[in-house]
Amino acid sequence: MSVEIQQIHFSYGKIKALNGIDIRLPQGAIGLLGPNGAGKSTLLRILLGFLVPDSGEGSVLGYDIRSQQAMIRRYVGYMPEDDCFIPGMDAVSFTSYMGELSGMPRQEAMKRSHEVLYYVGLEESRYRMLETYSAGMRQRLKLAQSIVHDPKLIFLDEPTSGLDPQGRKEILELIMDISSKKDIQVLISSHILPDIEQTCSYVVILNKGEMAAEGQISELKQVQYSLYELKIKGEEQAFLDRLASMDSQVEQTEDKLLKVYLSPGTDPQDIFKIAVEEKVQIRHFVKSQTSLEDLFAKVVGVD
Its sign, for the CA torsion 38, 289, 276, 239, is: negative
Residue 172 φ then ψ, to 5°: -65, -40
Nearer to another protein, 36 or 224 (CB): 36
Q: Does 298 bind another protein (CB under 8 A)?
A: no
The beta strand positions in 13-84, using DSSP E, are: 15-24, 30-33, 55-60, 63-64, 76-79
Tell me the site size for another protein, rule CB under 8 A: 93
**CA–CA dist 232, 115 (Å, integer):** 50
The shares of helix, strand and coil residues in the chain, as percent rounded to the nearest 5, are 40, 30, 35
Cβ contact 79:32 at 8 Å: no
What's the rounded Cα separation, in Å, for the pair 86 and 193?
31
Residue 22 beta carbon to another protein: minimum distance, rounded to whole angstroms = 23
Q: Is 30 or 44 the residue whose CB approaches another protein more closely?
A: 44
Taking the least distance from each CB to another protein, the nearer of 24 and 297 is 297
Using the rule CB under 8 A, give the single segment among 1-9, 18-26, 43-51, 240-248 that binds another protein: 43-51
**From candidates 112, 126, 140, 221, binder to another protein by CB under 8 A:** 112
Instruction: Give the x-and-dash track for 168-187 against another protein (CB under 8 A).
Output: ------x--xx-xx-xx---
Q: Which one of residues 249, 251, 284, 298 is an interface residue with another protein (CB under 8 A)?
A: 284
- Write the binding mask 122 to 161 for another protein: x where contact by CB under 8 A, - elsewhere: ---------xx-xxx--------x-x-xx-------x--x
**Which 221-250 residues touch another protein, going by CB under 8 A?**
233
Among 43, 153, 163, 203, which residue interacts with another protein (rule: CB under 8 A)? 163
> Residues 58, 159, 167, 209: which binds another protein (CB under 8 A)?
167
Name residues contacting another protein, limited to 54-73 (CB under 8 A): 70-71, 73
Interface with another protein (CB under 8 A), residue from 80, 110, 201, 220: 80
Separation CA 269–CA 82 (nearest Å):
50
Q: Order the strands of the 202-207 sheet from edge to edge.
A: 76-79, 153-157, 185-190, 30-33, 202-207, 210-216
Main-chain phi, psi angles of 198, to 5 degrees: -75, -35
Minimum distance from CB of 49 to another protein (Å)? 8
Q: With residue 278 as reference, give the H or E element that holds it.
A: helix 269-278
What one-letter code names the amino acid at 195? D
Among 3, 18, 21, 104, binds another protein (CB under 8 A): 104
- Residues between 253 and 282 with contacts to another protein, criterion CB under 8 A: 254-255, 268-269, 272-273, 275-276, 279-282
- Options 19-27, 53-61, 96-104, 217-225: segment touching another protein (CB under 8 A): 96-104
Contact 34, 40 (CB under 8 A): yes
Please name which of 75, 55, 53 lies closest in space to residue 63, comparing C-alpha atoms: 75
